[in-house]
Amino acid sequence: MKKAVAAEPVEKAAAAKSVKKKAAAAKSAKSVTKAAAAKPVKSVTKAAAEPESRTALVRRARRINRELAEVYPYAHPELDFENPFQLLVATVLSAQTTDLRVNQTTPALFAKYPTPEDLAAANPEEVEELIRPTGFFRAKTKSIMGLAAALRDEFGGEVPGRLEDLVKLPGVGRKTAFVVMGNAFGRPGITVDTHFGRLVRRWKWTQETDPDKVEKAVGELFPKSDWTMLSHRVIFHGRRICHARKPACGACPIAPLCPAYGEGETDPEKAKKLLKYEKGGFPGQRLKPPQSYLDAGGIPAPPLGATAPPATGE
C-alpha cells in the first residue's frame, strides 16, 4: 500500500512530463508550419527587390494605363478651346500658371481677338492687360502676338498640324506642339508637363528628367495610338491623387502597381481628404468642360472673379 502511495507522485510527474513533451512538439510543429507559410512571402519580397525586366516594365506600365482609363474615362485637355488657334494660344499662356487661371482669362482675350489676324494687329499694351492674370504677361504677349503674326504671314491664318511647323512658331516648344497636335488634329503625341514627369519617375518608367528624353522613353513603352490619352490620364492622376508634396497613396487605385507607394498618406480616410477636383467634389479647371466630365460629377470652374461653388463630396 505504501509502495502504491509512493508511486503516485512519480506517475503524476511522468504524466506531466509527457504533456510538456507533447506541447513542445506541437509548438515546434506549429513553428515549422508558420515558417513554411512565410516562405512564399519571403521569396515574393526578394523577387520584388530584383531589377524589373524590360518586358515586366512594359506590362506594368500598360496595366497602369488601363487602370487609369477606368478611373478617368472622362480624361480630357483641361484648357478651354473651340478651335486650334485658341488651343495654341491657351497652351502658350499656361506656362508657369494653372489651366484654371488661363481658362478664366482667355474668354475676354478671344472675344476681342478671335483670329490670328486680329491678335497680330492688336495693341500690345491692351493684350498685356487682358492676360496679366496668367503671369509673365509681357513675355507671353510677345509670344502670342508673334505666333499670330507667323500664322498670318506664313500659314494663311491657319494653325499647322505638323510638329516641324508648330515648333517654329514663337513660344511653341514640343510640349505645346503635341498638345495641339493631339487635341486639335487627333495626331498622337505625349505631353510632358510637371505632373507627367513626376509620375512616370515615381512609377519607374524612366529616370530621365529632360522632357524630350522622358517623351522618348515613355513613348517606347506604348503604341502611338495610346500617347494622347495616356498623357491626359497621367496628368489627371497627378492633379487629383498623386500630388507633388503629399500624394494620396491610401486612396490611389493603382497603389499595388506603384513602386513609390508609401511616399504619401496611406490611411484611406486621411488620403480621401487630399483628393482634388471632381474626386474630392471640387470644381475642375474648365469653365466649359466636356459633358462626360459633368456626367461623372465634375463641377465647372467659376469665371474670373466669381466665387467657387462649395465642395459637395464624391
pLDDT in tens, the chain (314 residues): 444 444 444 444 444 445 444 444 444 444 433 333 333 333 333 345 689 999 999 999 999 999 999 999 999 999 999 999 999 999 999 999 999 999 999 999 999 999 999 999 999 999 999 999 999 999 999 999 999 999 999 999 999 999 999 999 999 999 999 999 999 999 999 999 999 999 999 999 999 999 999 999 999 999 999 999 999 999 999 999 999 999 999 999 999 999 999 999 999 999 999 999 999 999 999 999 999 999 999 999 999 887 655 544 33
CA distance 224 to 164: 18
Q: Which amino acid is at 94?
A: S
CB atoms within 10 A of CB 131: 23
pTM exceeds 0.85 for this model: no
CA distance 194 to 198: 6
* 212 among known catalytic residues: no
Residue with cell 465647372: 300
The predicted pLDDT at position 224 comes to 97
* 175 among known catalytic residues: yes
* Nearest C-alpha neighbor of 196 from the set 220, 175, 177: 175
End-to-end CA distance of the chain: 85
The residue from 175, 270, 288, 295 that is catalytic is 175
Residue with cell 510677345: 142
The predicted pLDDT at position 306 comes to 77
The residue from 99, 193, 226, 279 that is catalytic is 193
Cα Rg of the chain, angstroms: 30
The predicted pLDDT at position 41 comes to 33
The predicted pLDDT at position 49 comes to 60
